[in-house]
């Protein structure tokens, strides 16, 4: 294999490669060359010593699975501040009595930045290399993306009630335009986008206005959809329509719309999502913990709807480990359908990688390991008691592995974690800062 005149930036040797390129090929003892942030080649025909002198950094992946970095399609990173703040309560109580008041009091540019860095550290440590966020003060999340070297879609949030940084709903369009213009082209790892909280909290005018800005900029538009029975009832009472029909009437459904949760949808609504090419972010752990229900994901996949995995925020999950999400996704749909053959391991791993990339409109760049794609790669150490013996790599990833088994993370051709040590984030300092914010929240709750 001719590497050209220049040295490789990184050479990965050994291990077992799960390319996730259809069909999901397994390659033993591969040699992967990385240069300028991209995968230059995948070779199986020569010895690593043929290339080692041509690389600045050689990573020995012996005993590891090599796979694309995981893609978290739905997060609210700053909500790590509220991890464990209000557990074991219904969704509407959780939102109205606990989360919204805490956000009004404690969410600002500084707290969002510190919380986002902590959340990003947690994701990198557990194998996530790309995420799609939606919250307030997303400029601070964007700063954390640039500082940490992770790949992120950051979506400025909109809601029709007083919130920390958007008290006047009439200024939504100006705020959306300003955000998109400020953060576009700032970093190849950063993509700005927009999110409306939900159809029952945002007015029809807000929904249409923010989607229009999104279309003008060719960006993703996110929304929570049909998360609870209460939401479906509210929309029925207000507008006389089912959730998907309501959004269709507002012209919100297209290939750049990502709908999160999508639990309480009927057959005709699933058909509309498919016909409109709407993408779905599936968050099984959050849905279960809040008692919201089980999304009809097998039915979505049968209709050709692109579905990716997300963790949701840490106030409702309470972690950002996509390995746990994969395991829960596979098992909850088996028990809900009474069919152990649904959501096979290979299918679930694809949802966590290439499927998530499709949801975010990034499958041409990430989600699989192939020449020309971005070098977003993680190594999972299989030399662990709970991963021994190994018969089927995909099954182990879904049913045995956890985020703590990830030992190395590469994003855009840059090593951001090696041997479980973060290289771009001062984790002790970030944790100390978030603990201080947590202390302030705790003391106010006591008062």
For residue 106, pLDDT beyond 80: yes
Instruction: Locate 165 and state its tokens.
Output: 């940084």
pLDDT of residue 94: 84
**pLDDT in the model for residue 1:** 46
| CATH code of the domain occupying 70-359 | 3.20.20.140
Percent of the chain with pLDDT over 90: 86
Q: Provide the token pair at 275.
A: 């016909």
What is the pLDDT, as a whole number, of residue 51?
A: 62
Q: 8 near 34, Cβ under 8 Å?
A: yes
- The domain ranges of the chain are 8-68+373-422, 70-359
Distance between CA atoms of residues 41 and 247, nearest Å: 44
Confidence of residue 297 (pLDDT cuts 50, 70, 90): very high
Residues 383-414: tens digit of each pLDDT: 999 999 999 999 999 999 999 999 999 999 99
Considering Cα of 292, then 296, then 297, then 300, what sign does the dihedral take?
Answer: negative
Give all strands of the β-sheet with 26-28 in edge-to-edge order: 26-28, 16-18, 64-68, 377-381, 406-411, 414-418, 421-422
DSSP string, 416-434: EEETTEESS--HHHHHHHH
Q: What is the mean pLDDT of residues 176-195?
A: 97
CA quadruple 152, 129, 67, 127: dihedral sign: negative
pTM of the predicted protein model:
0.95
Please provide the CATH number assigned to the domain covering 8-68+373-422. 2.30.40.10
Both tokens assigned to 135:
């919250």
Whether the pLDDT of residue 173 is over 90: the answer is yes
User: Which residues share a beta bridge with 224?
Assistant: 260
Structure confidence by residue, pLDDT tens digits, 25-64: 899 999 999 999 999 999 986 655 566 668 999 999 999 9
Going by pLDDT thresholds of 50, 70 and 90, the confidence category of residue 91 is confident
Token reading at 274? 């498919």
More confident residue, 103 or 413: 413
């Amino acid at each position: 294999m001719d590497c050209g005149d220049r040295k490789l930036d990184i050479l990965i040797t050994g291990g077992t490669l799960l390319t996730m390129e259809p069909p999901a090929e397994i390659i033993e003892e591969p040699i992967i060359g990385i240069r300028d942030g991209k995968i230059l080649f995948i070779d199986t025909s020569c010895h690593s010593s043929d290339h080692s002198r041509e690389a600045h950094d050689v990573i020995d992946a012996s005993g590891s699975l090599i796979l694309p970095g995981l893609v978290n399609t739905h997060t609210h990173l700053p909500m790590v501040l509220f991890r464990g703040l209000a557990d074991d309560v219904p969704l509407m109580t959780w939102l109205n009595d606990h989360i919204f008041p805490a956000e009004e009091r404690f969410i600002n540019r500084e707290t969002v930045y510190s919380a986002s860095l902590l959340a990003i550290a947690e994701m990198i440590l557990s194998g996530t290399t790309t995420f799609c966020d939606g919250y307030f003060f997303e400029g601070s999340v964007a700063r954390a993306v640039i500082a940490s070297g992770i790949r992120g879609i950051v979506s400025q949030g909109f809601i029709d009630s007083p919130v920390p940084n958007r008290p006047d709903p009439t200024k939504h369009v100006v705020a959306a335009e300003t955000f998109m213009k400020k953060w576009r082209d700032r970093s190849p790892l950063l993509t700005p986008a927009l999110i409306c909280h939900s159809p029952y909290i945002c007015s029809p005018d807000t929904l249409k206005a923010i989607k229009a800005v999104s279309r003008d900029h060719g960006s993703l538009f996110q929304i929570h959809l049909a998360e609870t029975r209460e939401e479906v009832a509210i929309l029925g009472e207000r507008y006389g329509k089912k959730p998907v029909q309501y959004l269709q009437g507002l012209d919100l459904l297209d290939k750049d719309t990502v709908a999160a949760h999508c639990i309480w949808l009927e057959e005709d609504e699933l058909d509309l999502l498919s016909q409109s090419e709407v993408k779905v972010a599936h968050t099984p752990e959050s849905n279960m913990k809040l008692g919201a229900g089980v999304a009809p994901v097998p039915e979505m996949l049968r209709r050709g709807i692109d579905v990716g995995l997300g963790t949701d925020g840490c106030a409702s999950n309470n972690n950002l480990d996509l390995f746990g999400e994969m395991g829960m996704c596979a098992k909850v749909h088996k028990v809900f359908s009474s069919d152990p053959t649904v959501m096979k391991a290979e299918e679930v791993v694809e949802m966590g990688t290439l499927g998530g990339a499709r949801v975010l409109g990034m499958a041409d760049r990430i989600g699989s390991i192939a020449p020309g794609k971005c070098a977003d790669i993680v190594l999972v150490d299989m030399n662990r008691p709970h991963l021994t013996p190994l018969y089927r790599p995909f099954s182990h990833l879904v049913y045995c592995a956890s985020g703590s088994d990830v030992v190395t993370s590469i994003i855009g051709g840059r090593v951001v974690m090696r041997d479980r040590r973060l290289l771009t984030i001062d984790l002790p300092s970030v944790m100390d800062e978030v603990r201080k914010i947590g202390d302030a929240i705790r003391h106010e709750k006591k008062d």
